[in-house]
Amino acid sequence: MMLPEPLLVIMAVCLPLLYPAMALRAAWERAMRYALPVLPLPALVLALGSEPGWQLEMPWLLNGGLWAVDGVRRLFLLLTAVLWMVAGIYAVGCLRPDHLRRFCVFWGLTLAGNLGLTVAVDIGSFYSFFALMTFAGYGLVVHEGTNEAIRAGRVYLVMAVLGEMAILTGLLLASAAAGSQMLADLPEAIAASPRRDLIMALLIAGFGVKAGLPLLHFWLPLAHPVAPTPASAVLSGAMIKAGLLGWLVTLPFGEVAMPGWGALMIVAGAVGAIGAAVLGVCQQRPKAVLAYSSISQMGLMVLMVGVALADSGRAPVLFSVIALYALHHGLAKGSLFLSAGVSLPAGAMRRAVVWLLIALPGLSLAGLPFTSGALAKLAMKEGLLENRLEFALAGYLSPLMTAGAVATLLLILRYLWTLSAKLGTGHNPPMLVAGWLAAVGVSLVAFWWMPWEAGGLVESPVWLPAPYQLWALVWPMLIALGLALLTLWASRLVKQR
């Protein structure tokens, strides 16, 4: 299908960017609420309906603007558009009327930033959209106005400003080294630059703040849970991925092997994946558990980034796996966050169905067969097969991934446990339910029709894993289940005394 892509991309960015103007009239408040789900529509059409390869040149923009979509960006764009849309539907149902217009303004601006940065190919507009998303996101975090939210917002803002500065300096150094204002020229220039390590450190740390890299993650478990539920979903599902995308488009993958940086990222990823799980299972509140789960999942993606850095030959393959994993995680995590705000219906049968729908995206994260998680996990496993990799840490990857899978399921079980204590019985606004069901449906069903590429890593048919793969997926889950039961039993014993 032929589409006027340049027009679509301008609409995709400008619609949410101009939408806040509706706040000028108090009478449009209702319209503003109902417009929320429509905002990502052009972006969705763009991501689904157009083949990558077009570009839009805007020589008058900043230092020369260029917007385009390639295979990896397309998946990020799709994830962003879909998640913001289902969260938007959900928001229509769940938002309270106080400060509604303010919330919508920040929602639109944050969305514009998040969409824009996935299509921006020049440094100026990429960084502009990134900053827009960061600063407007503050408004979503502190929206509830509680002391806790304000404190979380402060930590968020301080970390965000520091991150922005690191990114700015890194981009400035890289751009000066490249003598170019385009992102595509940076990797080569960074690889050849005498300041390579400084630039790498700045970019990894700067984007790492957004991506929840261990030690830079403090803000994340504070900020993601305090935001209103739909905002939590997009924060943890889509915006966290912006940091990941930042790495993918700037770091010198495939230029030169960097075992040192690769090892550092692998260690960071491992610490994130497992450390966050340890901290996460200690959390009392469901959304905080999910925030730690996001850090843990990002840890696995950081791991893959590290491998791609260490082994430049594998980078192209790993890119599609990372994008696939990001898509899978974003959709599943979005559904999980949205489920934190639903109320249970009366009637045992209905309750069971709701609980099943709450649990399924979580189990998908843990790699349940026939889910997107199984596909992503298998693709990751194949992508990281040690006999194909050539660097020192390669032998540790397999046990790390297993540990990661155990950690994932433990966190999900913890989430369900804390949620069961919190969920009340009651009536849900219809739009809220619609948004949540849409999220679950997209994560479990529509995912299979999305344009991801498993790159020949996973044997077809993808949805039916081979027996050995099945076992590889299931046994970490059994361990986690065993651990959870053990904990439960131990806590019973303690209570009885």
Which residues bind to other proteins, rule: CB under 8 A?
23-24, 59-64, 102, 124-125, 127-128, 131, 135, 139, 142, 145, 150, 153, 157, 161-162, 164-165, 168-169, 172-173, 175-176
Burial 373-393 (b: 16+ CB within 10 A, else e): bbbbbbbbbbbbeeeebebeb
Minimum CB separation from other proteins for residue 247, in Å?
Answer: 19
State the Cα–Cα distance between residues 491 and 322, nearest whole angstrom. Answer: 38
User: Which residue, 15 or 439, is less far from other proteins as judged by CB?
Assistant: 15
Q: How far is the CB of 122 from other proteins (least distance, A)?
A: 11
Share in percent of the chain as helix, strand, coil (round to 5): 75, 5, 20
Nearer to other proteins, 149 or 454 (CB): 149
* In the complex, minimum distance from the CB of residue 52 to other proteins, in angstroms, rounded to a whole number: 25
In the bound complex, what is the minimum distance in angstroms from residue 13's beta carbon to other proteins? Answer: 12
Min dist CB 142 to other proteins, Å, is: 6
Q: How far is the CB of 289 from other proteins (least distance, A)?
A: 27
Is 145 or 313 the residue whose CB approaches other proteins more closely? 145
Query: Which residue, 64 or 259, has its beta carbon nearer to other proteins?
Result: 64
φ, ψ of residue 68 in degrees (nearest 5): -160, 170
Q: Of 352, 365, 367, nearest to 289 (Cα)?
A: 365
The amino acid at residue 43 is A
**All residues at 6 or more sequence positions from 370 whose CB lies less than 8 Å from its CB, including other chains:** 463, 464
The residue (of 108 and 262) whose beta carbon lies closer to other proteins is: 108
Q: What is the rounded CA–CA span in Å between residue 342 and residue 344? A: 7
Min separation Cβ 248 and other proteins, Å = 20
For residue 382, give both structure tokens: 């194949």
Q: State the Cα–Cα distance between residues 327 and 319, nearest whole angstrom.
A: 12
The nearer residue to other proteins, 104 or 308, going by C-beta atoms, is: 104
Residue 139 or 212 having the CB closest to other proteins? 139
Q: DSSP H helical segments within 186-340, as ranges?
A: 186-192, 196-211, 219-226, 229-234, 240-250, 259-270, 276-280, 286-310, 315-339
